[in-house]
Structure 1
Amino acid sequence: MLGLIISIIVIGLIAGALARLIVPGKQSMGIGMTILLGIIGSFVGGFLGFFLFGADAQDGFFQPAGIIGSLIGAIIVLLLWGAFAGRRSSRR
């Protein structure tokens, strides 16, 4: 169980950091928020993979498609975060 939690955190950190590198602009978040971004992105990517392709996680946790799905999900979450955060700060 501890190994699963550590691997989720590591994959979240990798996916979140890569998403922050790919998406242009300044994202004001620390390492904890980057990990959370990657973890949420993994759930979004997994949901999209299952919804679009019927893919399932039965083949194992570390898969290239799973990591790519996590990255795509993290990019989507980061873009949505930027859109909502930008909208909120422009009202002031």
Structure 2
Amino acid sequence: MSWLWVIIVGLVLGLIARAIIPGKQHIPLWLTIVCGILGSFLGNAVAGWIGVAETRGVDWIRHLLQLIGAIVVVFLAERLWHVVRGSKDKRGSRQRA
């Protein structure tokens, strides 16, 4: 798989994951793509562990596992992004006040 396809799959999975997670995620697009890519790799690893990585036809289970992986990674990244960016914003607002 070329890097272009990895980025496209990461973008698609990341955007779908953001749409599924309730509420608005305040993470940039580049982080959404990275989360989608990581979720794809995580889903592929789980598919390999449970023995459904290679099936005939469309690998629906593998794709579902990739999406679940992307949802988990986007959720965790959004929380971490909020903690990191939130702490910087709080310090900045205290200095201005």
Would you call these one fold, judging by a TM-score over 0.5? Answer: yes
1:54 to 51, 55, 58: 51
How far the C-alpha of 1:49 sits from its partner, in A, is 1.2
1:77 to 27, 48, 73: 73
Residue-pair matches, total: 88
Q: TM-score, normalised by structure 1?
A: 0.71
Structure 1 gap ranges (5+): none
Cα separation, 1, equivalents of 2:5 and 2:79: 29
Structure 2 gap ranges (5+): 91-97
Read off the aligned partner of 2:8 and give its amino acid letter.
V
Cα separation, 1, equivalents of 2:9 and 2:52: 19
How far the C-alpha of 1:77 sits from its partner, in A, is 1.2
Kindly provide the CA deviation profile for residues 24-43 of structure 1, in whole angstroms up to 9, marking residues without a partner as x.
12211122111101001001
Cα separation, 1, equivalents of 2:81 and 2:11: 21
Q: TM-score, normalised by structure 2?
A: 0.68
Cα separation, 2, equivalents of 1:33 and 1:82: 9
Please tell me the root mean square deviation across aligned C-alpha atoms, in Å.
2.7
Kindly provide the CA deviation profile for residues 40-92 of structure 1, in whole angstroms up to 9, marking residues without a partner as x.
100111111112x2133598xx84444332211101112333455566759x7
Cα separation, 1, equivalents of 2:60 and 2:2: 17
Higher gyration radius (CA): 2
Partner of 1:36: 34
Change (3 A) 1:7 1:57: farther
Cα separation, 1, equivalents of 2:11 and 2:17: 10
